[in-house]
Amino acid sequence: MTAKPYKTNDHAQAWENILKVVKDNVSTQAFRTWFEPIVSVKLKANVLTIQVPSQFFYEWLEEHYISLLKKTLRKELGSTGRLEYSIIMESASSNSSPYTVKIPTTDRNVLKNPSVALPIDINKDTIRNPFIIPGLKKIKVESQLNASYTLDNFIEGECNRLARSAGYAVSEKPGGTSFNPLLIYGGVGLGKTHLAHAIGIQMKEKYPEKIVLYVTAERFQTQFVDAIRSNNKNDFVHFYQMIDFLIIDDVQFFSGKEKTQDVFFHIFNHLHQTGKQLILTSDKPPIEMQGMEQRLLSRFKWGLSADLQVPDLETRIAILDNKIRIDGINMPKDVAEYLAYSITTNIRELQGALVTLLAQSSFNKKPITIELAKQMIDKFVKNTAREVSIDYIQKVVCDYFDLPIELLKSKTRKRDVVQARQLAMFFSKNMTKSSLAKIGAHCGGKDHATVLHACRTVNNLIDTDKQFKSYVTDLKKKISID
């Protein structure tokens, strides 16, 4: 196929055409994270220049997507087509997306405000440490890190790859990357605290002479209130200014607390200007935080905001397998898979279900089986009219017909595979709240019309084919967990 001839000013159209191909070959999350922030800059002599937000961004593309980019580029521009990167470098005082690399310039707010503590020579033995018993003068800061939360047991998946990779980069070179601050956000039980501790532990191991401190936003605020009451505000500020790597968990807790935000703003400025690393966690991205001062929100956007999403099926299975292996638990593989298929909300609930199942087995002296797992799940999940997942329905259907799930999601038109695929779509439509588009996407990228056709076909066969009707009856019993 001959590549389309482009003029110099056609760079946007060329990149748009390349993105169409890329979008069909990567996951939706990967496309949104790694390709949507890219901007085409120019096209000259068959060299397409694209603007990426950071050095890390460029390296990630080169490591994970270079083959795909080469193929699509040559298809679009011909065999001589080449790609060049332009890494944007902007002032930290401007307002931009979380993916923009920022090289902070002199902060005008600091220059105007004499109450902001700039780098000073501090006698550490005279500053009150809010983490030790009042009255003790000598500074000795315990990191407050949980040794069981490590990067090794933080299972990587599509749902957390960006955050974990950025966390590793920060732990290797704290304060020396464009990810300062690194803000990790996501819903309850998705691993924010685990990852924050893991980064801190990694930094502590690599730089044992540095002061690493993990503290929740709530505890920070409580210490600040105590410092005001005891007239030790300056000691409080100076203490936090001495920290080399500061981790604040659940920073959204500062919402509506103006004085706490103000003191943290000054501490943040000092640490950032002196090249210290800040890691923050939140239940939402900066743009959605309510009750937070704009000057603080703008600083949250200086580095990288990385989200943790609900883990996909493969990640949930890997998390359980890792937990089972570490704890030396003897559990049948199909039981672990059942838990992973059934608990889809977050990692904390998944691990809680595992602990509950083990307790049921131990206390009642019963073997760990699928039946025991089903009984436990009914009691563990508050909503007894719980919705099963599309993944679980597909697993049951594939097990019933002895088909690999990859074949069900393939484009093959073999009769037995098509029938299994249609049944999976039928039960997904009737037993979940998922949209037709989502069901189709889970079944190999089919559209909503295909799902509707599958449902009509199944309903017709139920009325005309006794053997097929028995399949539906059996599968309904197997899928049902009531």
DSSP state for residue 146 in the 8-state scheme:
-
> Do residues 105 and 93 touch, judged by C-beta distance below 8 A?
yes
What are 261's strand-pairing partners? none
Structure tokens at 366: 């019963």
Give counts: helices (H), strands (E), the chain. Answer: 21, 10
CA torsion through residues 342, 345, 348, 352, sign? negative
Any residues with CB less than 8 A from the CB of 136 and at least 6 apart, and which?
129
Q: Across 220-270, where does the E strand assignment appear?
A: 245-249
CATH class of 313-380: mainly alpha
**Residue 5: partners with Cβ closer than 8 Å, 6 or more residues away:** none
Distance CA 7, CA 3 (A): 13
Judging by beta carbons within 10 Å of its beta carbon (0-12, 13-18, 19+), is residue 213 exposed, middle or buried?
Answer: buried
**3 state DSSP class of 361:** helix
Closest Cα to residue 339, out of 355, 361, 327?
A: 355
- Any idea where the domains of the chain sit in the sequence? 8-88, 102-308, 313-380, 390-479
Count CA atoms within 13 Å of residue 420 on its CB side.
Answer: 26
Question: Quick one: pLDDT at residue 431?
Answer: 84
| Dihedrals phi, psi of 84, to nearest 5 degrees | -125, 150
- Strand 182-186 and strand 277-282: pairing? parallel
Look at residues 265, 25, 34 and name the one whose alpha carbon lies nearest to residue 166. 34
The CATH superfamily of 102-308 is P-loop containing nucleotide triphosphate hydrolases (3.40.50.300)
Across 19-34, b (16+ Cβ under 10 Å) vs e yields beebeeebeeebeebb
Give the contacts of 348 (CB within 8 A, at least 6 positions apart): 188, 189
CATH architecture for segment(s) 8-88: 2-Layer Sandwich (3.30)
- pLDDT for res 443: 86
Residues 43 and 14 sit within 8 Å (Cβ to Cβ)? yes
What strands lie across the sheet with 47-52, from one edge to the other?
39-44, 47-52, 82-87
Is the pTM value of this prediction over 0.85?
no
Note the pLDDT of residue 379.
65
**Per-residue model confidence as pLDDT tens for the chain (482 residues):** 455 555 545 888 889 889 988 888 887 767 877 888 888 888 888 888 888 876 667 777 877 888 888 888 888 888 888 888 887 543 333 333 333 332 232 333 333 333 333 333 334 444 555 655 344 344 567 888 888 888 888 878 888 888 888 888 888 888 888 888 899 998 888 888 999 999 999 898 888 888 899 999 999 998 898 888 888 888 888 888 888 899 999 999 898 888 999 999 989 988 988 889 999 999 888 888 888 888 888 888 888 888 888 887 778 888 888 888 877 777 888 888 888 877 777 788 887 888 888 887 777 788 888 778 877 776 665 443 455 778 888 888 998 898 888 888 888 888 889 999 999 999 988 888 788 888 988 888 888 889 999 999 999 999 888 889 989 998 988 887 54
Fold classification of 390-479 is Chromosomal Replication Initiator Protein Dnaa; Chain: A; (1.10.1750)
C-alpha span between 134 and 129 (Å, rounded): 8
Per-residue pLDDT at 188: 81
Phi-psi sector, 186: left (phi>0), alpha (psi -120 to 50), beta: left
- Residue 457, phi then psi, degrees to nearest 5: -60, -45
Q: Which residue has the tokens 């999403």?
A: 309
